[in-house]
Amino acid sequence: MRPMNMKNAILKTRLLLAGVLALTSLAATAHAAAPGIQGTTFNLTAAPAYLTQPDGQAVYSWGYGCTNTTGVTFAPTTTTAGFCNTMQVPGPTLIVTEGQAVTVTLTNNLPTSAGNTSILFPGLNVTATGGVAGLMTQEAAPAGTVTYSFTAPTPGTRSYYSGTQGDLQVEMGLYGAIIVLPATVQSGCTAVGGLPAHYIAPGNTAEADFRLAASAYDNPHTCYDREYLFQFSEMDPNIHTQAEAQVLATTGCAAGAAGCSLNVPTEPYHPAYFMINGRSMPDDMDTNYAPQYPHQPYNGNPHMHPGEMVLLRIIGQGRWQHPFHEHANHVRILARDGNLILTPNGNLAGPALFTTTTTPGMAMDGIFYYTGRGLNWDMYGHRPYTPAAGAPAADPLSKLPCTPDANGYNTSDTTALNYYEWCQDHNKPLQSAPFGDVSAGGPVTLPDPNILTLGAWYGGSPYLGPNATSRSTGCAPAGSPQSNAPSCGSTGVTPPSGTIANSPGGEAGFAFMWHSHNEREITTNNIFPGGMMMMMLVDSREFQIDESN
pLDDT tens-digit profile of 255-286?
989 999 999 999 999 999 999 999 999 999 99
Helix (H, G, I), strand (E, B) or coil at 393: coil
> Mind listing the pLDDT tens digit for each residue in 274-321?
999 999 999 999 999 999 999 999 999 899 999 999 999 999 999 999
Helices (H), 75-157: none
Instruction: Give the span between the Cα atoms of 262 and 48, in whole angstroms.
Output: 15
Cβ count within 10 A of residue 456: 17
> Which pLDDT value is given to residue 381?
78
- Cβ atoms of residues 102 and 40 within 8 Å: yes
Q: If you write DSSP's letter for every residue of 21-67 in order, what string do you get?
A: EE-----TT------EEESSEEEEEEEEEEEE-TTS-EEEEEEEEES
Question: 258: which residues sit within 8 A by CB, 6+ positions away?
Answer: none
Give the global pTM: 0.89
> Mind listing the pLDDT tens digit for each residue in 450-487?
444 333 444 456 778 776 666 665 554 444 444 444 45
For the chain, give the mean pLDDT. Answer: 84
Instruction: Give the span between the Cα atoms of 84 and 297, in whole angstroms.
Output: 8
What region does 104 belong to: left with phi over 0, alpha with psi -120 to 50, or beta?
beta
> Mind listing the pLDDT tens digit for each residue in 139-149?
999 999 999 99
Helix (H, G, I), strand (E, B) or coil at 304: strand
Q: Identify which has the larger pLDDT, 69 or 211.
A: 211
Burial class (CB in 10 A: 0-12, 13-18, 19+), 192: middle
